[in-house]
Amino acid sequence: MDQFETFDDPACIFCDQPIAPGVHDPCAINLVTRIDRPRLQQKEQTFFCHMHCLQSRSAMHPGVFYIVEPGFPTVGECKT
């Protein structure tokens, strides 16, 4: 199933506002717990956010999120 088949206007986990489509939005954060265990023992959950909220609320410098750079390839570009 495509991850956006069930994308039903979720709110940002940081600001709780709706996420309108944009250059980088909506963003999905895939959380994996028990990352040190075998894959079958791990748990996953997806959260949605605005890129700006992620960058501004992270303890890391916004520049760490190089995915926003114009030259960063899409998944489709990487496969070609």
- The model's pLDDT over 13-44, given as tens digits with 9 standing for 90+, comes to 999 999 999 999 999 999 999 999 999 999 99
What pLDDT does 62 receive?
84
Q: Where are the beta strands (DSSP E) in the chain?
A: 27-33, 43-49
Whether the predicted pLDDT of 72 surpasses 50: yes
Say what the pTM is.
0.78
* Structural domain boundaries enclosing 68: 3-79
Instruction: Give the model's pLDDT for residue 78.
Output: 86
CA–CA separation, 17 vs 6, rounded Å? 18
| Cis status of the peptide bond prior to 18, with omega within 30 of 0 | no
Whole-number Å distance between alpha carbons of 13 and 54: 9
- Pick from 31, 27, 3: which is nearest to 15 by CA? 27
Looking at the 3D structure of the chain, how many domains does it have? 1
